[in-house]
Amino acid sequence: MMEIGILGGTFDPIHNGHLQLAQHAMEQFQLDKIWLMPSPNPPHKVGKKVTDYAMRAEMVELAISGFLHFERSDFENQRGGKSYTSDTLQALREQYPEIQFSFIMGADSLYEIETWHRPEVIFSLVRILVAMRDYQKEHRELSVQSKYLREKYLADIEFISYPRVDISSEQIRQLCIEKGSIASYVPAKVLEFIKQHHLYQ
What are the tens digits of pLDDT across the range 142-174?
899 999 999 999 999 999 988 877 789 999 999
Q: Measuring CA to CA, which residue among 75, 73, 72, 69 is closest to residue 33?
A: 69
pLDDT exceeds cutoff 70 at 66: yes
Mean pLDDT of the 62-74 span: 97
Question: pLDDT class for 139, splitting at 50, 70, 90?
Answer: low
Kindly report the pTM of this predicted structure. 0.93
- Residues of the chain with pLDDT > 90, as a percent, come to 80
Q: Please, what sign has the CA dihedral across residues 101, 106, 112, 115?
A: negative
Give the separation between CA 42 and CA 136, rounded to whole angstroms. 21
Helix (H) or strand (E) holding 173, with range, is helix 169-177
Look at residue 79 in the predicted model and tell me its pLDDT.
87
Look at residue 11 in the predicted model and tell me its pLDDT.
97
Residues 6+ apart with CB under 8 A from 183: 191
